């Protein structure tokens, strides 16, 4: 894991965006996995601002959504779907055929997970996976547990996840999530991990011990050869 310590959120977002953009300069048809929420928002805003420098964005760049709150309307303004659409797809003019994402209000969540897994196997692997760090060490909805699931699955949300700021604003409160699994994430060619937000000092200290444990899902990123971790020092 390559650690990049940044003075504040803006510096973290800028540096991560510069790295991502340099990767897209080399090849613009990459498959990008998108986390949602405040941690990656600044990165996406910078990516949109760099659009004119990378005119192939609208021709070949592809996206897959990391996770979604289960059982909520797809149109809820605080869903992951609306976030991805408003912050990434529409500004970058990405057509729907180059976007893959969980349907939040599907009737059979397990079937939906199998659909996404099948699509990923056909269109993957992920080139660059963008992740945030949860206060309990989760990535996506891969929550601390005795064992972690490798592929797309229905996840029972931990109490910290249920208290996420996005949940506070949801009109329907989710009891489960839909998420890519740990093997899906670790199969990505490169990973960007963004660490920002209050109350994460303890989990960051645990992560930096490099001890790999299913009770700290983010620790599995130490097993990946190409992780770029950007740390917002001002939030620690």
- Going from N- to C-terminal start, the domains of the chain cover 2-235
pLDDT tens profile 5-57: 999 999 999 999 999 999 988 887 899 999 999 999 999 999 999 877 765 66
Query: Annotated catalytic, 138?
Result: yes
Q: pTM for the complete prediction?
A: 0.94
Residue 17 exposed, middle or buried by CB count within 10 Å (0-12, 13-18, 19+): buried
Query: If you average pLDDT over every residue of the chain, what do you get?
Result: 92
Query: Annotated catalytic, 67?
Result: yes
Contact status, residue 47 vs residue 21, Cβ threshold 8 Å: yes
Query: Average pLDDT for residues 180-191, to the nearest whole number?
Result: 98
Note the helical H segments in 27-164.
38-49, 57-60, 80-84, 90-92, 109-123, 159-162
Q: How many CB atoms lie within 10 A of CB 67?
A: 24
Q: Which residue out of 23, 81, 143, 184 is catalytically annotated?
A: 143
Q: Which residue out of 46, 138, 153, 228 is catalytically annotated?
A: 138
- CA-to-CA distance for 109 and 167, rounded, in angstroms? 19
Query: Annotated catalytic, 226?
Result: no
DSSP track, 48-105: HHTGGG-TTHHHH-EEEE-EEETTS-TT-TTSHHHHHIIIIIHHHT--GGGEE---TT
Interaxial angle between packed helices 38-49 and 9-26, expressed in degrees from 0 to 180 and rounded to the nearest 10: 50
Does the domain made of 2-235 have the CATH classification 3.40.50.1360? yes
Query: Annotated catalytic, 8?
Result: no
Q: Which residue out of 68, 136, 153, 184 is catalytically annotated?
A: 136
């Amino acid at each position: 894991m390559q650690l990049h310590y940044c003075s504040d959120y803006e510096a973290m977002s800028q540096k991560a965006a510069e790295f991502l953009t340099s990767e897209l300069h080399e090849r613009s048809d990459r498959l990008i996995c998108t986390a949602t929420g405040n941690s990656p928002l600044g990165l996406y805003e910078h990516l949109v601002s760099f659009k004119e420098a990378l005119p192939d964005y609208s021709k070949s760049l592809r996206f897959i959504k990391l996770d979604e709150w289960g059982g909520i309307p797809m149109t809820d303004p605080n869903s992951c779907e609306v976030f991805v659409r408003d912050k990434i797809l529409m500004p970058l003019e990405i057509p729907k055929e180059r976007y893959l994402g969980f349907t939040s209000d599907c009737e059979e969540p397990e079937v939906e997970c199998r659909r996404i897994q099948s699509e990923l196997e056909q269109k993957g692997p992920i080139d660059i996976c963008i992740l945030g760090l949860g206060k309990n060490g989760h990535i996506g909805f891969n929550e601390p547990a005795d064992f972690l699931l490798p592929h797309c699955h229905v996840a029972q949300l931990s109490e910290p996840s249920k208290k996420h700021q996005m949940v506070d604003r949801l009109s329907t409160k989710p009891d489960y999530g839909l998420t890519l699994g740990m093997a899906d994430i670790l199969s990505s060619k490169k990973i960007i991990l963004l660490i920002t937000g209050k109350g994460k000092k303890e989990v960051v200290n645990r992560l930096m011990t490099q001890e790999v444990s299913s009770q700290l899902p983010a620790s599995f990123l130490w097993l990946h050869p190409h992780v770029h971790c950007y740390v917002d020092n001002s939030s620690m």
